[in-house]
A and B are shown apart, each in its own frame.
Chain A
Amino acid sequence: MAKRDDNPRKPTGRPAGVGSRKTPTRRGPVGAPRAHASRLGMGHGRRGKIMITGAAGALAQHVIADLTERDFEVVGVEFRGVQDEYPDTVDYVVDFNQRPFEDVFREHDFVGIAHLGRVRFTQSTRGRRYSANVVGTSRLLRLARKYGVEKVLALSTFHVYGADARNPSLIDEEYPMRAANLMPEIVDAVELENLFNIHLYKHPELNIVVLRPCNIAGPGIKNEISRMLAQPVAPCLFGFSPLMQFIDVADMSAAVVAAFEQNHPGVYNVAPDDYVTYQDALQLAGCRRLFLPSVPPVLARRAVRALGRWAPPEYLIDFFKYSVIIDGSLFSRTYNFTPQYSLSELFAHYRALK
Chain B
Amino acid sequence: MRIRQFLKPRTVSREVESIVDRLPMGNIGSLGYDPWGLNPDTAKITFMAVRWLYENYFRVVAHGLDNIAAGGRLLIVGNHSGQLPMDGVLVSFAVANKGEGARLPRSMIERWFPSIPFLGNWMSSVGGVIGDPKNCAKMLDREEAIVVFPEGVRGSGKPYRLRYQLQRFGHGFMHLAMEHNTPIVPLGVVGCEETMPSLANIRPLARMLGMPYFPVSPLVPLPARVVLNFGRPMLFPNDLANERDVKWRVEEVKDAIRDLIDIGIAQRKSVF
A-to-B contact residues, CB < 8 Å: 165-172, 175, 237-241, 243, 273-277, 279-280, 283-284, 294-295, 322-323, 325, 327, 342-344
Are B130 and A277 in contact, CB atoms less than 8 angstroms apart? no
Known: A170-B134, A344-B30. 19 other contacts (CB 8 A): A165-B111, A165-B112, A165-B114, A165-B115, A166-B130, A167-B130, A168-B132, A168-B135, A239-B118, A240-B120, A243-B33, A276-B33, A277-B1, A322-B115, A323-B37, A323-B114, A325-B35, A327-B138, A343-B30
Docked-complex contact A169 and B35, CB < 8 angstroms:
yes
How many Å lie between the Cα of A275 and that of B34 in the bound state?
Answer: 7
Bound CA–CA A170/B112 (angstroms): 19
Binary CB contact string for chain B from 29 to 46 against chain A (1 if under 8 A, 0 otherwise): 111011111000000000
When distances are taken between beta carbons in the complex, the residues of chain A under 8 Å from B132 are 166, 168
Report B-chain residues with C-beta under 8 Å of the C-beta of A277.
Answer: 1, 33, 37, 121
Give Cα A52 to B217, complex, Å: 62
Q: Are A168 and B138 in contact (CB under 8 A)?
A: yes
Cβ-defined contact, A241 with B121, below 8 A: yes
* Interface of A: prevailing SS: loop
| Most A-side CB within 10 Å, residue of B33, B113, B124 | B33
A347 vs chain B, min Cβ distance (A): 9
8 contacts between A and B (CB under 8 A): A166-B114, A275-B29, A275-B35, A277-B33, A284-B31, A322-B115, A343-B30, A344-B30
Q: Are B118 and A279 in contact, with the CB atoms below 8 A? A: no
Interface contact B2-A283, CB-CB below 8 Å: yes
Check A275/B134 contact, CB under 8 A, given A239-B121, A240-B120: no
Assess the B30–A165 pair: CB atoms within 8 A: no
> If the complex has contacts A170-B35, A344-B30, are A165 and B120 also in contact, measured as CB distance less than 8 A?
yes
Closest Cβ–Cβ distance, residue B85 to chain A (whole Å): 15
Q: Are B129 and A169 in contact (CB under 8 A)?
A: yes
A275 CB → nearest B CB, Å: 4
* Chain B positions 103-150 with a Cβ under 8 Å from a chain A Cβ: 111-118, 120-121, 124, 129-130, 132, 134-135, 138
User: Would you call B30 and A342 a contact (CB within 8 A)?
Assistant: yes
8 closest residue pairs by CB, A with B: A239-B117, A274-B29, A168-B134, A168-B132, A165-B115, A165-B114, A168-B135, A275-B33
Query: Known contacts being A240-B121, A323-B37, is A169 close to B138, with CB within 8 Å?
Result: yes
Quote the shortest CB–CB distance from B73 to chain A (angstroms): 16
Closest to A166 in B: B111
Q: Count CB-based A-B contacts (< 8 Å).
A: 87
Q: Which residue of A lies closest to B134 (CB)?
A: A168
Contacts of B116 in A (CB 8 A): 239
CA distance A295 to B198 in the complex (A): 26
Bound Cα distance from A277 to B124, whole angstroms: 11
B124 partner residues in chain A, CB cutoff 8 A: 243, 323
Q: How distant is the Cα of A137 from the Cα of B210 in the complex, in angstroms? A: 40
B94 to chain A, nearest CB (A): 25
A171 to B121 alpha-carbon distance, docked (Å) = 19
A residues less than 8 Å from B31 (CB atoms): 274-276, 280, 284, 343-344
- Once bound together, how far apart are the Cα atoms of A226 and B235, in whole Å? 49
Determine the chain A residues whose CB is within 8 A of the CB of B112 once the complex forms: 165
Cα A172 to Cα B137 with chains together (Å): 12
Q: Contacting B130 at CB < 8 Å: which of A168, A241, A276, A284?
A: A168
Residue with the highest number of chain B CB atoms closer than 10 Å, among A237, A240, A327? A240
**Alpha-carbon distance A276/B32, docked complex (angstroms):** 8
| Known A166-B130, A169-B135, A169-B138; contact A280-B35, beta-carbon cutoff 8 A | no
Which residues of A have CB within 8 Å of B2? Answer: 283
Across the two chains, which residue of chain A brings its CB closest to B2?
Answer: A283
Q: How far is the CA of A238 from the CA of B119 in the complex (A)?
A: 12
Q: How far is the CA of A154 from the CA of B241 in the complex (A)?
A: 41
Contact in complex: B1, A279 (CB < 8 Å): yes
Residues on A with beta carbons closer than 8 Å to the beta carbon of B114: 165-166, 322-323
Judge whether B111 and A240 touch: CB under 8 Å: no
Residues of A within 8 A of B120 (CB): 165, 240
A38 to B262, CA, bound (A): 88
Q: Which residues of B contact A323 (CB under 8 A)?
A: 37, 114, 124
Minimum CB–CB distance from A292 to chain B (whole Å) comes to 11
- Cβ contacts under 8 Å, B135 to chain A: 168-170
Task: List chain B residues, Cβ under 8 A from A295.
Answer: 117
Is there contact, CB below 8 Å, between B121 and A170?
A: no
- A343 vs B116: C-alpha distance when bound (angstroms): 28
Q: How far is the CB of A172 from chain B (nearest CB, A)?
A: 8
A166 to B1, CA, bound (A): 25
Contact A274 B138 (CB under 8 A): no
A169 touches B36 (CB 8 A): yes
In the bound complex, residues from chain B placing their C-beta under 8 Å from that of A237 are: 117
CA distance A241 to B112 in the complex (A): 16
Distance of A149 Cα from B40 Cα, bound (Å)? 50
B217 to chain A, nearest CB (A): 22
A326 to B31, CA, bound (A): 17
Q: Name A282's closest neighbour in chain B (CB-CB).
A: B1
B138 touches A273 (CB 8 A): no
Q: Judging by beta carbons under 8 Å apart, are B29 and A273 in contact? A: yes
Bound complex: CA A243 to CA B130 (Å): 13
* Closest B residue, CB atoms, query A171: B134
Other-chain residue from A168, A283, A322 in contact with B1 (beta carbon distance below 8 A)? A283
**What's the least CB distance linking A144 to chain B, in Å?**
34
CB distance from B142 to the nearest CB of A (A): 9
Minimum distance in angstroms from A344 CB to a CB of chain B: 7
